[in-house]
Amino acid sequence: MKKVGPRNIYLFSAVVIMGLTLVYATIVSATLNTELQISGEASFRTLGLLREQILNDNGGAHEIRTRLTPNFSVSATTDEGMFAIQDDYGTSYYYRGAVTNNNLIFGEHQWKIIRIDGKGNIKLIYNGPCPENSCIINVSGSDVYIPRGPHNWNAPFINDNKYAGFMFGGANGVASTSYETAHTNETNSNIKTLLEEWYQNNILTKSQTLINKITDVAYCNDRSLTAGSGFGNINTFFGSFNRTLFGLNPSLRCPNENDKFSVYTQNGNGALTYPIAAITVDEAIFAGVVPMVPNPSYYLHTGQTYWTITPGSLQNNSARMWVIFANGGIDPDGWVSFGFNIRPVITLSSAVEYQEGDGTAQNPYLIK
């Protein structure tokens, strides 16, 4: 009879740490009377967060962070993917160019993902209705805006720097006499009122579970100054000129606390009623457009003109905003009395869970 020598005994255990299942084996040696532990990654169980899925679908956070900063003086006309840059919260990951995998369905509406912010929240721009969360993804047309447009930013009152604000100081028609009286957040612009009404009718009518997936962040209505006083009917160039036309250096940081529009004061100025606003001109540049240069190829082009939340200037008796033109270009010459379209921007919480999809028009992201 064949003699069988002492055998090792293997005891397997598993533990879940930060969503990762680790399996380790304890080997009890029959000959050495000792124990050895060998551990390793035997299986993975992610938490299924949307932000992680988005990053993984675009090469992973590490790879994205190693990509060189794009040349912002050149229009992005092809799918350049995702890049990373710092915002007020940390590292933000943004889409650039003719990307095709930033589509998401939420609350019976379709959205384009602009970026993931430094806290992991997902910033979205409206792209049209999606009844019962089943629809064809829009690439242009009137459906990508709030209905019944175009809409003025603030009219008929236009001849004061304060009217470049998402909110402003004093009543309509009352001239501002200092920077502080111009930009105290007291009175809604027409656009802010319009966006709040849209939120009431299209988001607050949903379940509380869905509403809770939207988070409060700061939306930057940058009223810092490049030149001029910033109040009254005095010619002024706001801070965006310094980052765009006077040197192309876009930023996701908001210079003034007073311009960080939020619902709660821990996130900004606490002046919003609901967590909704519009895209900034800096985000449009990161997305792939060059000031004053048409770009019909990047994902923000819709074939119609719409507002950003970024002030441009006050010149010739009119406050002016940056707009995204029908040809895809951006321009700071949008008089606040002009009628343009508006695309709501909201932000999903970093805790939102991924359900399915890869962000393409044929298979947009869905969340739990």
What is the arithmetic mean of pLDDT over 179-201?
98
pLDDT tens, position by position, 308-358 = 999 999 999 999 999 999 999 999 999 999 999 999 999 999 999 999 999
Q: How far apart are CA 19 and CA 288, in angstroms?
A: 35
Q: Among the listed ranges 139-153, 173-187, 213-227, 331-345, which one has the minimum average pLDDT value?
A: 139-153
Mean pLDDT score of the chain: 89
CB 38 within 8 A of CB 25: yes
What is the arithmetic mean of pLDDT over 89-111?
98
User: What are the distances in angstroms from CA 91 to CA 76, 80, 82, 118, 338?
Assistant: 21, 18, 12, 4, 36
Query: In this prediction, what percent of the chain has a pLDDT beyond 70?
Result: 87
pLDDT on residue 148: 81
What is the bridge-based pairing of β-strands 225-227 and 236-238?
A: antiparallel
pLDDT on residue 12: 39
* pLDDT tier for residue 24 given thresholds of 50, 70 and 90: very low
CB 92 within 8 A of CB 51: no
pLDDT on residue 328: 97
* pLDDT tier for residue 277 given thresholds of 50, 70 and 90: very high
Q: What are phi and psi of 80, to 5 degrees?
A: -95, -10
pLDDT at 52 over 90: yes
pLDDT on residue 247: 79
CB 344 within 8 A of CB 338: no
Query: Is 0.75 surpassed by the pTM of this model?
Result: yes
pLDDT on residue 345: 98
What is the arithmetic mean of pLDDT over 79-85?
98
CB 274 within 8 A of CB 196: yes
pLDDT on residue 147: 86
pLDDT on residue 101: 98
* pLDDT tier for residue 26 given thresholds of 50, 70 and 90: very low
pLDDT on residue 14: 44
Residue 60 neighbours by CB under 8 Å, 6+ apart: none
What is the arithmetic mean of pLDDT over 108-134?
97
Q: Which of 274, 338, 273 is nearest to 307 (CA)?
A: 338
pLDDT at 273 over 50: yes
Instruction: Give, as one character, the DSSP assignment of residue 126.
Output: E
pLDDT on residue 313: 98
pLDDT on residue 90: 97
pLDDT tens, position by position, 241-256 = 999 987 789 999 999 9
Q: Among the listed ranges 39-43, 94-98, 166-170, which one has the minimum average pLDDT value?
A: 39-43
pLDDT at 34 over 70: no
Q: Among the listed ranges 120-129, 138-147, 294-303, which one has the minimum average pLDDT value?
A: 138-147
pLDDT on residue 279: 98
What is the arithmetic mean of pLDDT over 186-197?
98
What is the arithmetic mean of pLDDT over 136-164?
92
Helix (H, G, I), strand (E, B) or coil at 240: helix
